[in-house]
Amino acid sequence: MPTLPAHPTDDVVPAADGPAGTPPEADAPAEAVAPLLRGIAVLRRLTDADGGTLGLSALERATGLARSTVDRVAATLAHMEYVRLDGREVTLAPGLMELGNAYLASLRLPALLGARADRLADALDESVSLAVADRDGVRFIHQATRRRAMSLSFRIGDLLPAERTAPGPLFAAEWDEDTWLRWRLRRSGDPRDLGFPAVPPREHPTGDADFEERAATAAARGYALDDQLIEAGLVAVSVPVRDPGTGRVACVASVVSHTSRHTAGDLRRTLLPRLRTAVAAMEDELRTAPPAAPGPAPAGLAAWTGASKQELGRGFVESLARGLTVLTAFDEARPALTLAEAAKATGLPRATVRRALITHVHAGLVARSGRAFVLTPRVLSLGFPPLSRSSLPGIAHPHLAALAERVREPVALAVLADSGGEIQYTARAGTPRVMSAHVTLGSRFPAAATAAGLVLLPGPDAAGHALVDGELEPGLRTLAAPVRDRAGRPVAAVSVTAHAARRTPKECLTDILPELLRTAERVGAELRVAARFTEVPLV
């Protein structure tokens, strides 16, 4: 199929992140952009940290960078809305998912095959995943999760050691000598898999011959099993989905279960045939998919960085912002870009883009494919796994807190419940001053009598905002604005409740509404980025 990006032909050996404290630019080529490598190192450390959060001092230790550098990198990433700064803590923010989205869009497989994987999971009532090869590892690009007895479930972007998975041997059947060599070196350097934060450390080292044999068997049989290689109880069966153009493995589809439901042998006998049928349909889908709709090519994606530099001066690392923006030039209609195309899309000088791409190749985020460049699965290592589990209340909360601080009134997020008859509060911020009717999380009110309900229900307020007097109790006024999803539908409402004695209805509109609308729009923008390839729970 001509629509999938070509396999990278000239895969250089990118540096893995060194041990804590190794400066990110330690072994980089002379032309690499050091601030870009530093930014990438900070994002990777945050991705591996619990909850996607680290203190500035912890980042300083983990990256080996000077404190002033960490401060400026963090400020730049915060300005890009890729992280949030909260005092001395840095936390990954959903806006960062636009980088992983660029990779997943350019790959096209999640868009073409994801719905089929979801339907298979529904039909089997088991988890189904799609994974791609990431050098000697396996990285998930789609997850339809139905996990019950399992302590572990993997996220989009998680990287697993190939030899501890079912997809691994199917990919290894196509490895070249360099990948096998890299695999042996990695295993001798990290026998317990400590470099793979998504899996528990290996308890019993196995010999290399084991996996070589599994790869040969998988190639011969066209499927592979995982019989509790990651943890006790977890079993999986996998089948390769082949690119109809090249015949190579495009991705691997897996059915994942638990020994309390199926042994590995059962999976093979009962579920493998159904997985094979689904994979045949996926391959048909790839064969018949029309080329991605071209759409207008982006232009000037990085045009904003100059103004930010003017505004923020030394606190803004422009080469970092420009370098990361280069990654957003790739998408489904433009999976491979030449230097000239990337320069046009970003509006940056060719020399700047060239150095950014050299840097990304070194960091393993971009690979050469003939004269062009393509994104690699490693782009997902920039924040995607922790962020792919965001819920709307989680996305909204920092924005609600900032709004409550600015308007000095309590703020809440609500969704429709009870088939639209009621609204339910799902997040809140700010302490009510004089309010006796507490908006507690989960509490419900009749939708038609609340400002939040009025912007969520079809009707005259659905497109803008609503103001309701005496909503929760006499003497209170509530103003609400909608949060919109990717289809433009209002899916939640942000509301501010003000004491009537302190503001007239007109003052509510002048003092509060502009801030409220900005907040609802920001929450919506983050929701739309996060929901492009993942399910974002609304409650």
When binding is defined by CB under 6 A, the residue of 101, 106, 165, 388 that contacts ligand PHB is 165
- Is residue 43 close enough to count as binding ligand PHB by CB under 6 A? no
* Other beta carbons less than 10 A from residue 337's beta carbon: 26
CA 233 vs CA 10, 12, 153, 239, 258: distances in Å: 39, 38, 12, 20, 5
In the bound complex, what is the minimum distance in angstroms from residue 168's beta carbon to ligand PHB? 7
In the bound complex, what is the minimum distance in angstroms from residue 385's beta carbon to ligand PHB? 12
For residue 28, give both structure tokens. Answer: 């980089």
The DSSP letter of residue 291 is P
When binding is defined by CB under 6 A, the residue of 254, 257, 346, 381 that contacts ligand PHB is 254
In the bound complex, what is the minimum distance in angstroms from residue 43's beta carbon to ligand PHB? 24
Residue 83 or 282: the one with the smaller Cβ distance to ligand PHB is 282
- Is residue 166 close enough to count as binding ligand PHB by CB under 6 A? yes
Residue 91 or 145: the one with the smaller Cβ distance to ligand PHB is 145
Residue corresponding to tokens 């309590």: 410
- Is residue 388 close enough to count as binding ligand PHB by CB under 6 A? no
For residue 88, give both structure tokens. Answer: 């001395």
For residue 522, give both structure tokens. Answer: 């920001």
In the bound complex, what is the minimum distance in angstroms from residue 152's beta carbon to ligand PHB? 8
* 209 exposure class (CB count in 10 Å sphere: 0-12, 13-18, 19+): exposed
Per CB under 6 A, which region of 1-9, 111-119, 163-171, 354-362 contacts ligand PHB? Answer: 163-171
Per CB under 6 A, which region of 160-168, 306-314, 381-389, 476-484 contacts ligand PHB? Answer: 160-168
Phi, psi of 390 (to 5 degrees): -70, 145
Cα angle for residues 109, 228, 263 (degrees, 5° grid): 90
When binding is defined by CB under 6 A, the residue of 62, 253, 256, 267 that contacts ligand PHB is 256
**Backbone CA torsion sign across 380, 25, 79, 46:** positive
In the bound complex, what is the minimum distance in angstroms from residue 415's beta carbon to ligand PHB? 29
DSSP codes joined into one string, 297-347: PP--TTTTHHHHHHHHGGG--HHHHHHHHHHTT-BTTBSEE-HHHHHHHHT
Per CB under 6 A, which region of 45-53, 159-167, 289-297, 430-438 contacts ligand PHB? Answer: 159-167
Interacting positions 113-152 with ligand PHB (CB under 6 A): 127, 129
In the bound complex, what is the minimum distance in angstroms from residue 233's beta carbon to ligand PHB? 11
- Is residue 239 close enough to count as binding ligand PHB by CB under 6 A? no
Residue 127 or 352: the one with the smaller Cβ distance to ligand PHB is 127
Q: Rounded CA gap, 43 and 35, in Å?
A: 12
When binding is defined by CB under 6 A, the residue of 226, 283, 331, 511 that contacts ligand PHB is 226
The DSSP letter of residue 511 is I
**Site residues (vs ligand PHB, CB under 6 A):** 127, 129, 154, 165-167, 226, 230, 236, 238, 254, 256
